Chains A and B, each alone.
Chain A
């Protein structure tokens, strides 16, 4: 089995604010990330897919197909966007990188079989670096 990982980047803004909490609690919890005007990051997303090698092509994952899926489902939706204002999922949840990871995983998983209709490869992992020092991983139960 092979794990093939591709690295992508997008820049977006967000604000961490939980509507169930008071203004003061939000400030205490999220600190600067609660600034009402929002702020941005250069997000780095690594998408890992797992599968056996295809004897004919010598590849486990068609990376051009993966690139197209990520472009359509993630990069086009998030690039240079305000996540709170412009992405449906973050109308209902705080755009922390944890939730961003879950949302990216959901988008890719939901459209996966359209691009990869066989048993393999499977989506295995999403790794998001919000900054080089804050890194979040979401892993599938394979």
Chain B
């Protein structure tokens, strides 16, 4: 069984690769390369896979999941400029793909398959663009 919880955060970012020129970055990322940054209301859906506990009837206490998501995602990301304030985005471009993978990496140690495992991370940058990541 798969259970999903949604959280939101708002953050700003710049999509540009420091190894490339400003013109190349603009060509590659378009308006997202604006060096002053711009922001999104990100929506993150985190899915866990597991079987309901025979006593509680729950795959995982959603209160616990909410706390973990708050600590690992909302606290570090919300109302931040990702490139400047949230590692690893001082080194890698904060595309939606890289954000999905970073969230996966932050959450995976909490869910090692006993009894729940991390199943999928979906990140909406806008309602019209989202990325799903299920590990390598």
A and B physically associate? yes
Verify B97–A53 contact, CB threshold 8 A: yes
What would be 18 A-B contacts, judged by CB atoms less than 8 Å apart? Answer: A1-B133, A1-B134, A1-B136, A2-B101, A2-B131, A2-B132, A3-B133, A4-B96, A5-B130, A7-B127, A7-B128, A53-B97, A56-B17, A57-B29, A57-B95, A58-B94, A59-B97, A64-B30
How far is A117 from B110 in the complex, measured between Cα atoms in Å?
A: 39
Q: With A2-B97, A4-B97 in contact, do A57 and B17 touch (Cβ < 8 Å)?
A: yes
Q: How many A-B residue pairs have CB under 8 A?
A: 52
Task: Provide the main secondary structure of the chain A interface.
Answer: mixed
Q: How far is the CA of A59 from the CA of B131 in the complex (A)?
A: 10
Asked whether B1 is an interface residue with its Cβ less than 8 Å from the other chain, the reply is no
Interface of B toward A, CB cutoff 8 Å: 15, 17, 19, 28-30, 92-98, 100-101, 127-134, 136
CA separation between A6 and B124, bound complex, in Å?
A: 10
Complex contacts, A53 vs chain B, CB 8 Å? 97-98, 101
CB atoms of A58 and B93 under 8 A apart: yes
Whether A3 contacts B17 by the Cβ 8 Å rule is: no
CA distance A5 to B94 in the complex (A): 17
Check A5–B17 contact: CB distance below 8 A: no
Q: Please tell me if A60 contacts chain B, counting CB pairs below 8 Å.
A: yes
Cα distance A53–B100 in the bound complex, in angstroms: 11
- Residues from chain A with a CB closer than 8 A to the CB of B100 are 2
Residues of B within 8 Å of A57, CB to CB, are: 17, 28-29, 93, 95
